[in-house]
């Protein structure tokens, strides 16, 4: 389910930030993570991108 809410702000998360660095530097390391963690990482990255785009507007 994908719900858009206007009153929610993006909050950086150290765990997911480290996973993003790991993906950039050692993609094979992500193979050990569960599919749920990878899906959450994709959702986090999407939210981060949307927050950056909203900042520019």
pLDDT, tens digit (0-9, with 9 covering 90-100), for 1-38: 345 556 678 888 999 999 999 989 988 888 888 899 99
pLDDT score at 27: 84
Q: Is the pLDDT score of 41 beyond 80?
A: yes
Q: Taking a C-beta distance cutoff of 8 angstroms, is the pair 9, 52 a contact?
A: no
Q: Is residue 7 part of a domain?
A: no
- Per the structure, the complete domain to which residue 40 belongs is given by 14-56
Residue 22 near residue 29, CB atoms below 8 Å: yes
Task: Determine, yes or no, domain membership for 5.
Answer: no
Question: What confidence score (pLDDT) does residue 1 get?
Answer: 38
Q: Is residue 35 part of a domain?
A: yes
How far apart are alpha carbons 40 and 6 in whole angstroms?
20
Q: Report the predicted TM-score, pTM, of the whole model to 2 decimal places.
A: 0.74
Of the candidates 39, 56, 57, 50, which has an alpha carbon nearest to the alpha carbon of residue 11? Answer: 50
Check pLDDT > 60 for residue 50.
Answer: yes
Number of independent structural domains in the chain: 1
């Amino acid at each position: 389910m994908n719900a858009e809410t206007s009153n929610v702000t993006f909050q950086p998360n150290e765990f997911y930030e480290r996973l993003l660095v790991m993906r950039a530097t050692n993609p094979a390391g992500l193979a050990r993570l569960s599919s749920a963690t990878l899906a959450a990482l994709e959702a986090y990255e999407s939210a981060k991108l949307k927050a950056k785009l909203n900042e520019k507007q």
